[in-house]
Structure 1
Amino acid sequence: MKRVVTVLLAALAVAVPAQAAPDPESLLRELRQAQQQSQEINSERERRFLENKQEQARMLREARAELAPVERRTGELRARYDSLREDLKALEEKLSEEAGDLNQMVAVVRQAAGDLQAVAGDSLVTAQYPERESELASLAASDSVPTTGELEELWYLLQQEMTATGNVVRFHAPVVSPDGSRREREVVRVGPFVAVAGDTFLQYLPGTGLKALARQPGGGAREMAAELSAAGPGTGVHPMVIDPTRGSVLELLVQRPGVIERIRQGGGVGAVIIVIGLAGLVIALWQGLRLVSVGRRVRRQLKQVDRPSPDNPLGRVLAAGREAGVDDPESLELKVDEAVMREVPGLQRAQPLIKLLAAVAPLLGLLGTVVGMIATFQAITLFGTGDPKMMAGGISQALMTTVMGLIVAIPLLFAHSVLAARSRAVIQVLEEQSSGLLARAAERSGGGGHA
């Protein structure tokens, strides 16, 4: 109360002008009025508070009255929940026990479908039955319990694959040519091993179908394929090549380079080796034919020693001996030796060149090997060893030039040996006949000449 009076006095002191003196009675009346107003306000507040308290008490009694049945209901529901939970747990255990074999069956079906899908993905049998791919994919991806129809379908597909493995059948299917065109053709399938259309071997590509091999096998395989394709039912047994790896060997065949590609792998050095080899073989062939002709004329001349012919070395040597005369054996010997020496270079012509080419070819192969290894190391420096294809070019050049050098050198060495043997045979005949000529001349001159 004292605080209220103090505040009111302070307010009046501020509100009253400094010139006017405060009136104690008016001030007392104002204080009394303020006190009465404050008491009225507090009374109103107390009345409202009591009214609210009673209302809240009433609401509290009503809430407690409503809470009691709810709590009873909650207890009942909790008890029922616990009971149902126990029942559910028991049912789950029972279901797990009873569904163990069923779950195992589902897993087995999925695994069997997945394995068959992997086999059928690149099998030639799928080219005849392309619809089975989607059926197997559906069975392998399904998480639900398979129906009786699905189990029968899986059994049928397994039986189909096993049966088709031992059959040779004909069917029509679209075939993709190496140029990308597709057309319907009659296909002969030999089990899961090979499929041919006419004389063309085919391979099966998932998502594409049958495609003709870009490079066909040789060795009479295409002839056998054409014969099998043209054979009708009941025509007997026909030989046929098969791929026991179910296409792996044929795929490697496509990647195997041909002769022209092998030669191109040799690069510039390989081209030089080929030129040297061709030149050496031409020279050896020309000289061999010449020696054969000379040997044939020399043998004919041996039958007619008394009539020397100028078309062969022996005839020219005998003619030179006759021209020298028999009175001077020493002059005869010189003439005959000169004639023999004049014939020897012609008989040994081109042999040193062939020998040189045979020696140069392996050296060029070694040069190509060094060049190829340099290219390989450059590829390793630039690209590392992560991609072997980047090094394949240099390695191919290194190996092919070595092979080409040996392939050229070996025949040239044999050719040189054959030419040398033939020329030595003719030279030996010339020496024998010249020795006989000198011996006869010495006998005629009475032993005065040189034997």
Structure 2
Amino acid sequence: MNRRHLAALLLCCVPAFASAAEPVGLDALLKQVQDAAGQDARLNQAREQRFLSDKNQQAALVAQAEAAQAAAKNKADAVRANFAANQKTIADLKAQIQAHAGDYLQVQGAVKEAAGAFRAVASESLISAQAPERLKTIDALADNDGYPPVADLERFWYALQQELTESGKVVRFKAPVVDTDGVRSEQEVVRIGSFSAFTGNRYLVFDPEALALVELTRQPAHHWRALADDFGEATDGLHAAMIDPSHGTLLVQEALRPNLRERIAQGGVIAYVIIVIGTIGALMAIYQLVYLLRVGRGVRVQLADIGRPRDDNPLGRVLAAFRGDPAQGIGDAEVLELRLSEAILREIPALERFQPLLRLIIAAGPLLGLVGTVTGMIITFQVIQEQGAGDPRLMAGGISQAMITTVLGLGVAVPMLFVNAILSARSRVLVQILDEQSAGLLARHIESGTGEGDARGA
């Protein structure tokens, strides 16, 4: 008996015990207990029926759920099997596509690679200035991820053949040219293959962005421009010209080379000092060389007519000094010798003029160059200390000054050394002629015993 039945029994019994004073029969009490027990049995039976009914219903629900689970599992297995079959079918189809499209992919890759490589060449080629529309075709093929159209392939083949054919031609054509001020105009251009192009004496490079030829901001040296000018004016035959196989790179580097004036400016003040000294020495050497040549010619003329002295040459003046006093006798030989020596010594300074100064310039040139070298090295080390040695261009100024001054010093000293040797040799020859002729005259004078007569016979 559960707790609820016991409570009901107690409740039923309390009034009986409470009214125990009243006469109640035991049969009535027993009947009440039996009625209560029967009522509890009926309640318990009703509860059991409800429990059994709920249990059967839950078992049916469980069976239904298991059946649904089994059906879902079977469906999932079928879907999984179908998915695996579809994956296998897709793989087979991809393999078939790869097998059938192998040539297609090779053609596509080859065309794209060739177009990309040729685009780099065509964007710098001077031929593109004459046919700029081909760049669009090349760009379309290089950037295309699909199969290239046949028309584009034909145009690409034509562009390749055009590059090959035009590279061996020299042509004139009208093309847009952008000058150094940015002004665009139509001008006549001379193109040598794909290597060089110029209008007049101005060299050009191709700009793929502007689709035009652009003048170099800094043109090459004068002799290269003169070659371009002469080649542009020629109509037939063979003529020299400058070509650039790098499509403008070497031409730009050539244009960046400093000219003679810029080289000298790199040497600084010392370079100008060396040039001034060298110029002065060269003027003196030229003047003296001309003088010695003129004197040598006069001496040769005088040797051919030794009996008639002239005052336009040193030998004639020496002979005139010898004949200055017809009353001289044999006893005056020492006086005559002294007179001849005096006349020769009077001529020597003019014959040896500027030679000591030229020797000084020869010695000073390399020394000034050494001063410039040391100064340039000081500047270089100062730049290294301030900026570091990471960028060699920062040190170029000091190194240029060091090298330029050295070259200028040697360039002044070496030619002056040869010129001074020539002047010394010419002056020694003339002095030797004067000594020989004066010694011969003096010897004949002594042998003859007469001054003026023997001299006239000589």
Q: TM-score, normalised by structure 2?
A: 0.77
2:366 equivalent in structure 1: 362
Deviates more, 1:432-441 or 1:302-311: 302-311
1:17 equivalent in structure 2: none
Deviates more, 1:178-187 or 1:259-268: 178-187
1:221 equivalent in structure 2: 227
Deviates more, 1:287-296 or 1:79-88: 287-296
Query: Is contact 1:198–1:225 with CA below 8 Å preserved after alignment?
Result: no
Shift of 1:307: 4.1
Task: Choose from 425, 428, 432 the match for 2:429.
Answer: 425
Which residue type is aligned with residue 373 of structure 1? M
Paired with 1:267 and 1:158, the residues of 2 have a C-alpha distance of 52
Please give the secondary structure, in 1, of the residue aligned with 2:206: strand
- Map residues 165-244 of structure 1 onto 2, 5 A cutoff: 165-208=167-210, 209-213=212-216, 214-216=218-220, 218=223, 220-228=226-234, 231=235, 236-243=236-243
1:85 equivalent in structure 2: 87
2:154 equivalent in structure 1: 152
Paired with 1:176 and 1:320, the residues of 2 have a C-alpha distance of 78
Please give the secondary structure, in 2, of the residue aligned with 1:239: coil
Paired with 1:275 and 1:242, the residues of 2 have a C-alpha distance of 35
- Map residues 260-409 of structure 1 onto 2, 5 A cutoff: 260-324=261-325, 325-327=327-329, 328-409=332-413
Paired with 1:206 and 1:381, the residues of 2 have a C-alpha distance of 43
The structure with the largest alpha-carbon Rg is: 2
**1:96/1:353 CA distance change after superposition, 3 Å:** same
Which residue type is aligned with residue 131 of structure 2? Y
2:260 equivalent in structure 1: 259
Paired with 1:171 and 1:59, the residues of 2 have a C-alpha distance of 96
Which residue type is aligned with residue 225 of structure 1? F
Paired with 1:111 and 1:440, the residues of 2 have a C-alpha distance of 101
1:4 equivalent in structure 2: none
Paired with 1:323 and 1:190, the residues of 2 have a C-alpha distance of 79
Deviates more, 1:110-119 or 1:338-347: 338-347
Task: Choose from 77, 94, 97 the match for 1:95.
Answer: 97
Paired with 2:147 and 2:55, the residues of 1 have a C-alpha distance of 67
Please give the secondary structure, in 2, of the residue aligned with 1:178: coil
Q: Deviations over 1:227-267 (max 9, x none)?
A: 24xx4xxxx54535252514343223212211111111222
Query: Is contact 2:267–2:405 with CA below 8 Å preserved after alignment?
Result: yes
The total of aligned residue pairs comes to 397
Deviates more, 1:288-297 or 1:355-364: 288-297
Q: Deviations over 1:14-72 (max 9, x none)?
A: xxxxxxxxxxxxxxxxxxxxxxxxxxxxxxxx9xx999999999987887776666555
**1:151/1:294 CA distance change after superposition, 3 Å:** closer
Please give the secondary structure, in 1, of the residue aligned with 2:368: helix
Determine whether 1:436 maps to 2:440: yes
Paired with 1:445 and 1:152, the residues of 2 have a C-alpha distance of 113
Shift of 1:279: 0.4
- Map residues 42-57 of structure 1 onto 2, 5 A cutoff: none
Query: Is contact 1:175–1:184 with CA below 8 Å preserved after alignment?
Result: yes
Query: Is contact 1:326–1:445 with CA below 8 Å preserved after alignment?
Result: no
Shift of 1:408: 1.2
**1:237/1:314 CA distance change after superposition, 3 Å:** closer
**1:303/1:72 CA distance change after superposition, 3 Å:** closer
Please give the secondary structure, in 1, of the residue aligned with 2:205: strand
Which residue type is aligned with residue 163 of structure 2? E
Paired with 2:313 and 2:272, the residues of 1 have a C-alpha distance of 39
1:11 equivalent in structure 2: none
1:20 equivalent in structure 2: none
Query: Is contact 2:190–2:232 with CA below 8 Å preserved after alignment?
Result: no
**1:96/1:314 CA distance change after superposition, 3 Å:** same
Query: Is contact 1:372–1:397 with CA below 8 Å preserved after alignment?
Result: yes
Paired with 1:289 and 1:237, the residues of 2 have a C-alpha distance of 44
Shift of 1:116: 0.6
Paired with 1:201 and 1:391, the residues of 2 have a C-alpha distance of 31
Paired with 1:85 and 1:237, the residues of 2 have a C-alpha distance of 74
**1:227/1:54 CA distance change after superposition, 3 Å:** farther
Please give the secondary structure, in 1, of the residue aligned with 2:323: helix
**1:350/1:198 CA distance change after superposition, 3 Å:** closer
Alignment gaps of 5+ in structure 2: 1-46, 452-458
Percent identical across equivalent pairs? 45
Alignment gaps of 5+ in structure 1: 1-45
Paired with 2:115 and 2:99, the residues of 1 have a C-alpha distance of 26
**1:316/1:103 CA distance change after superposition, 3 Å:** same
Shift of 1:350: 0.8
Query: Is contact 2:228–2:241 with CA below 8 Å preserved after alignment?
Result: no
Query: Is contact 2:227–2:242 with CA below 8 Å preserved after alignment?
Result: no
CA RMSD of aligned residues (A): 3.1
Q: TM-score, normalised by structure 1?
A: 0.78
Which residue type is aligned with residue 150 of structure 1? D
